[in-house]
């Protein structure tokens, strides 16, 4: 089944002085069951694009396929509620996502909205909050009392508690401390590998793209200009330079070593393997 965009355009505030075409003909077919990074400069259209996946924005033209349904321009969204259950979207600014009186109620809201019993919703909420690293003492706090990073964690818990098939995360670890960010990325990997959920995540962090993602889609000026395997992507120095993408540290280190005539095999992509490969090359 597809998860794809076909010739999708989107114009904000049409027929007003603020009219702006943010998507200019997006074509991309995401691979189900994988973790895909969506990257691209500020303002390139990433957030606009992913908000089409759960019907939050409807295309100005073109169509979006989400598993067995098609979202078309100029057509009312059918059964939007079930689409929101299939595709769990975590907003770029999570404060827009939190509105209940307490953290617990907030995370329970999603499942309860989809007819899960109160008891089950509570179990799921407590579990999800634990997974994202929110302490139990926070359950009765107001979301307004939380720090930015804590709000982000609670927003993610709220989406996890709904158990969506497809998880779409807009800069999910932006603003988290490095340890929390790592832990959150590990959690997305677990959800992908253990529960076979498809994960799309917007990020500006190339280290995360290399370490955690299978595929990468590059958005530029409202168009997807590249989509493919992450490891291959980072091997193509010319593409990276052309797109102005700063390569992850390990790739940069390999480039510098190559200039010193130390050639490291393609599959070496982490520090311990790099250290071994250098030692081996030096011994020769
Ligand atoms: N509500 C809006 N009304 C008008 N224009 C908008 C609106 N939201 C976004 N835009 C414009 O659409 C373009 C794409 O915005 P979008 O938020 O999708 O970018 P992005 O790739 O997510 O950027 P970032 O990396 O900064 O989050 C930008 O030029 C932005 O100014
Ligand atoms: Mg954005």
Q: What is the mean pLDDT of the chain?
A: 95
pLDDT 10s digits, 259-275: 999 999 988 999 999 99
Q: How many angstroms is it from 245 CA to the middle of ligand 2? A: 17
Residues 197 and 257 occupy one common structural domain: no
Q: According to the model, what pLDDT value does residue 95 have? A: 80
Residues 231 and 284 occupy one common structural domain: no
Residues 8 and 108 occupy one common structural domain: yes
Phi/psi of residue 167, each to 5°? -105, 125
Of the chain, the percentage scoring pLDDT greater than 70 comes to 100
Report which DSSP code applies to 75.
Answer: S
Residues 40 and 7 occupy one common structural domain: yes
Q: According to the model, what pLDDT value does residue 259 have? A: 93
The response to whether residue 110 sits with its C-beta less than 6 Å from ligand 1 reads: no
- Per the structure, the complete domain to which residue 280 belongs is given by 248-284
Count other Cβ atoms within 10 Å, centred on residue 22: 20
Domain count within the chain: 2
The response to whether residue 164 sits with its C-beta less than 6 Å from ligand 1 reads: no
Residues 208 and 284 occupy one common structural domain: no
Residues 155 and 203 occupy one common structural domain: yes
Tokens representing 240?
């990276």
Q: Please list, in sequence order, all residues whose beta carbon lies within 8 angstroms of the beta carbon of residue 264, skipping any fewer than 6 positions away.
A: 254, 257, 258, 274, 277, 278, 281
Residues 122 and 56 occupy one common structural domain: yes
Residues 125 and 262 occupy one common structural domain: no
Q: How many angstroms is it from 247 CA to the middle of ligand 2? A: 21
């Amino acid at each position: 089944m597809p998860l794809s965009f076909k010739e999708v355009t989107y114009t904000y505030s049409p027929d007003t002085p603020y009219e702006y075409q943010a998507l200019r003909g997006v074509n991309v077919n995401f691979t189900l069951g994988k973790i895909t990074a969506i990257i691209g400069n500020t303002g390139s259209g990433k957030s606009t694009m992913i908000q089409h996946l759960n019907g939050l924005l409807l295309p100005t033209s073109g169509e979006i396929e989400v598993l067995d349904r098609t979202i078309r321009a100029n057509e009312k969204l059918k059964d939007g509620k079930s689409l929101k259950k299939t595709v769990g979207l975590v907003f770029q600014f999570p404060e827009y996502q939190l509105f209940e009186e307490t953290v617990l109620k907030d995370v329970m809201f999603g499942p309860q909205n989809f007819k899960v019993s109160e008891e089950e919703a509570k179990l799921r909420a407590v579990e999800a909050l634990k997974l994202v690293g929110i302490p139990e003492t926070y359950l009765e706090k107001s979301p307004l009392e939380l720090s930015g990073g804590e709000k982000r964690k609670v927003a993610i818990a709220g989406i996890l508690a709904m158990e969506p098939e497809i998880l779409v995360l807009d800069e999910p670890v932006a603003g988290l401390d490095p340890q929390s960010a790592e832990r959150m990325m590990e959690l997305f990997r677990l959800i992908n590998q253990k529960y076979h959920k498809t994960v799309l995540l917007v990020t500006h962090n190339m280290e995360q793209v290399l370490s955690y993602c299978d595929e990468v889609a590059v958005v530029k000026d409202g168009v997807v200009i590249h989509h493919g395997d992450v490891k291959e992507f980072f091997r193509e120095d010319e593409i990276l330079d052309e797109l102005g993408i700063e390569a992850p540290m390990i790739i940069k280190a390999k480039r510098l070593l190559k200039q010193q005539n130390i050639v490291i095999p393609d599959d070496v992509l982490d520090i311990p393997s790099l250290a071994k490969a250098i030692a081996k090359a030096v011994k020769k």
